[in-house]
Homo-oligomer: A and B are copies of this chain.
């Protein structure tokens, strides 16, 4: 298949390649209706498709947006990727999904790769609390992080209010009457982790509740290991997990120790992945507004105003009570 070029189309339409470009871009110059028709007809006849590489090289935009996630095998990030792909598709951009595979080294490689690939913007979920954004800023690539960033970081952020979410989840557990409530937090001391912590503490304040502080990597297996150990030692009556995956791990640990959920241990998660509906038992969780997060992220990153002045936005979450907390007993 010899590649059909704009020049070929121009030849057939008896005009110049410039006009072909004008037609396919609706500008920057006008073309006479008759000429436009001839060009379109010729293009159709030859099966012409503009060469995106040449277009990108010349025009300076690759019409692509990068996404870096810590772990594509975590369905929450897969769902995020899907929502972003939709949002990007609507503005006719390609989403480049990069999976850090839980490795900071891999993550750094992807940052480099996206810069090299000249993506127009980046949606970033980092493994690090304070990721190095210099490569992006040097290349003037706008970035929006889907998690809180330290004060003064050179990127926009777009998240739910984790403090409020943790508070709501913990409060719900307290209202069930549980008096020994653990928080299963993430593996590192990050801004986000501290927000969960704070919400949990705020909910506990003034209640005669014993706190338990656990932490595990954000994976089902790792959480299961940690939870199994903790549950065997000083079993709390309830656990608030900062991700659904960790909650699923707790569910598994409880099961393997012969503990019933919620009769023996109550569990609440955060993310509201599709799987939370079909876990054993169905998981009570804080639902992230994945669609809204995605479309807003694309808006932010394409907003010329936000390019230089990072914006920080909070979106609303929804608390979903299912069986694992003790509501809706089966």
Q: Is the CB of B73 within 8 A of A99?
A: no
Nearest chain-B residue to A81 (Cβ)? B72
Contact among B89, B140, B221, B278 for A220, CB-based, below 8 A: B278
Among A99, A139, A221, A280, find the residue whose CB has the most chain B CB atoms closer than 10 A.
A280
Residues of B within 8 Å of A54, CB to CB, are 57
Contact with B along A291-304 (1 / 0, CB 8 A): 00000000000000
* Size category, A interface: 35 or more
Complex Cα–Cα for A255 and B279 (A): 10
State the number of copies, please: 2
Q: Is A1 an interface residue (CB 8 A)?
A: yes
Complex Cα–Cα for A75 and B84 (A): 18
Residues of B within 8 Å of A161, CB to CB, are none
Residues of B within 8 Å of A53, CB to CB, are 53, 56-57, 62, 118
Q: Is the CB of A73 within 8 A of B79?
A: yes
Segment 244-292 of A: residues with Cβ below 8 Å from B: 248-249, 251-252, 255-256, 274-275, 277-281
Q: Is the CB of A82 within 8 A of B99?
A: yes
Contact among B49, B98, B278 for A116, CB-based, below 8 A: B49
Q: Is the CB of B274 within 8 A of A255?
A: no
Q: A53-B118, A78-B72 are in contact. Are A252 and B274 (CB under 8 A)?
A: no
Q: Is A94 an interface residue (CB 8 A)?
A: yes
Complex Cα–Cα for A62 and B96 (A): 14
A53 CB, nearest partner CB in chain B, Å: 5
Nearest chain-B residue to A248 (Cβ)? B278
Segment 110-159 of A: residues with Cβ below 8 Å from B: 113, 115-118, 138-140
Nearest chain-B residue to A225 (Cβ)? B278
Q: Is the CB of B113 within 8 A of A94?
A: yes
- In the assembled complex, 13 residue pairs joining A and B whose CB atoms fall closer than 8 Å, in A order, are A1-B139, A49-B115, A73-B75, A73-B79, A73-B82, A81-B99, A85-B99, A89-B109, A94-B113, A97-B97, A224-B278, A251-B280, A252-B280
List 6 A-B pairs, minimum CB-CB distance, nearest first: A97-B97, A73-B78, A280-B280, A53-B57, A252-B278, A255-B280
Instruction: Apart from A1-B139, A73-B274, A221-B278, list 8 A-B contacts with CB within 8 A.
Output: A1-B138, A51-B118, A73-B75, A78-B78, A81-B99, A94-B113, A97-B97, A224-B278
